[in-house]
Structure 1
Amino acid sequence: MSLQATTSQTVGPYFSIGLTRLKRVDLAGPGVSGERITIEGRVLDGERKPVSDAMIEIWQADSHGKYAHPEDDQKKPLEPGFQGFGRIPVDENGKFSFTTIKPGAVPGPKGNPQAPHIAVSVFMRGLLRRLVTRIYFPDEPANAGEFVLNLVEPERRATLIAKKSVNQIGTLEWNVILQGPDETVFFDIGL
């Protein structure tokens, strides 16, 4: 018997079947502590045209740096009402928006704390595998020593750091650009 990986299949156009119940645009319910933020952006192709059939999946820790997942065995409190996971479809203009709290630091390699971040997967028609990236926060002192962020060439790090909105307090802007000179940094997670 031969053990080999099966062929990957494209995720669209019917990937929304069965995923509707997992759609969640507010990860932090009422009473969850932490700095409440909204992240808005767009998914754009290499010509800066909107991708209208993408879905963003996000995972993050709560403000204490604990994930709402049974495998997170840190001795930190878990906020009741904090989901830590959401799936957000884009609209016909490639726009998405979600509300959450700024995550706390989580352990990284050798137990060193990672800078606050949100893990992001991008799914869309034509992709054989999801794209994996991260959102980091502007003006975050821990970014300077962040293990993963420092693996990225300095000139490309800005694609991973959200920007403060000039129009709305508490809102950050972060776009997914699939190709070209400003392409978002995507990570190979070795699937």
Structure 2
Amino acid sequence: MADPKENPFLDDPEAMEEEFDLDAAMEEEPDGPPERASDRARAQLEAVTAERDELRDRLMRSLAEAENVRKRAARDRSEAEQYGGSKLARDLLPVYDNLSRALDAAGEEKTAITEGIELTMKELVGVFAKHGVTLVAPQTGDKFDPQVHQAMFEAPLPNTKAGEIIQVAAVGFKLHDRLLRPAQVGVSSTPA
């Protein structure tokens, strides 16, 4: 019987691919009838082949899983970079609203305070733009879009079509392609 330390399958993985020499295996086991040695050699070959196939299958599955994990990590990292600041941006939206209300309350009168508020608002909008936050600012007469607008009320208004925006209560915001807050609008319910 051959020394197991000299097994070509363990030393050379490519030897597993080579054809198994049945005559050589029968010569290695002279004790016992040739039929039993042949059966044992076939059984051994089948066992080794089955183990090889199982290991190859496990290797391929492990490689595929590792690739999936890598892709998932890259996608998660990209989303974290792009949308990681959404909570902070959402928390800053009331600041924009308050500055906007302050400018509306000041009216047309230009004072040092209103100029300071305007500059602060421009700076805030610039910071928003730098980080991918954009305004959703519909105009009166635009078509209502439920994807980016929130209807606060419906009212029949002459000379308008149903579904037209008749009043803008608050602007909305997007972070890249995700909606942070819909624009709050009034919508006409005048029948066509």
TM-score (norm 1): 0.22
Q: In terms of Rg, which structure is larger?
A: 2
Q: Which has the higher contact order (CA 8 A, sep 6+)?
A: 1
Give the structure with the higher percent strand.
Answer: 1
TM-score (norm 2): 0.22
